[in-house]
Amino acid sequence: MRFLKAERGRFHFQFATAEKRALLALLARYPLTPENYQALGRDARTEDQELLQVALAEHRRENKQRAALLRKTRTRFHAHRHGWRISFRPAEVEWLLQVLNDIRVGSWLRLGSPDKLDDVLLELTDKNAPDFWTMHLSGAFQVVLLRAMGKSHAA
C-alpha cells in the first residue's frame, strides 16, 4: 500500500493485488477485541459499565457493516496498471484506523499480550501464526494511513 496524494478532500492510495486482498481479509476478521475489553474503571457503577457495553456493541455492529460493505463493493477499488487505486475521505481514514487498531490489539490480546514480540516469533505455531501476522499486517496498514494524514496536515 502506498500513499499517492491528498487532494480535494480525499486521500489516494495504490495497492498491489496481494495488498488489496490482505486488507480485505483483515477487515473480514473485525472485530477481534473482546466485548468486555474496555471498562470504565474499578469504581464505575454497574449501570454505567452496562451503558458503555451497549454503546460499544452498537459501534462494533456499525463498524462491522461498514467493513463488510467495503469488502463487497467492487467499485471502491479501481484497476490500474500498477495494481489498484482507492481514495478515502478523512473520516473514512479515521474509521479505517480504528478498525485496524481493533484488529491489531485483538490479535495482540489473543497472543497473550506479550511484552516481547520476538518471543512469539520464535515460538510460532499453526495456532498463533495467524494472529501474529494479522497484528503486524494491520499495524503496517495503520502506519501508511497515519503518515498520509500527517503529510496532508503538513502541506
User: Average pLDDT, stretch 78-87?
Assistant: 96
pLDDT bucket at 114, cuts 50 / 70 / 90: very high
Predicted pLDDT of residue 52: 75
The domain ranges of the chain are 2-154
Angle, to 10 degrees, between the axis of helix 90-110 and the axis of helix 46-72?
110
Q: 94 phi and psi, to 5 degrees?
A: -65, -40
Residues 83, 85, 88: CA angle, nearest 5 degrees: 155
Cell 490500474 belongs to 80
Task: Categorise residue 62: left if φ over 0, alpha if ψ from -120 to 50, beta otherwise.
Answer: alpha
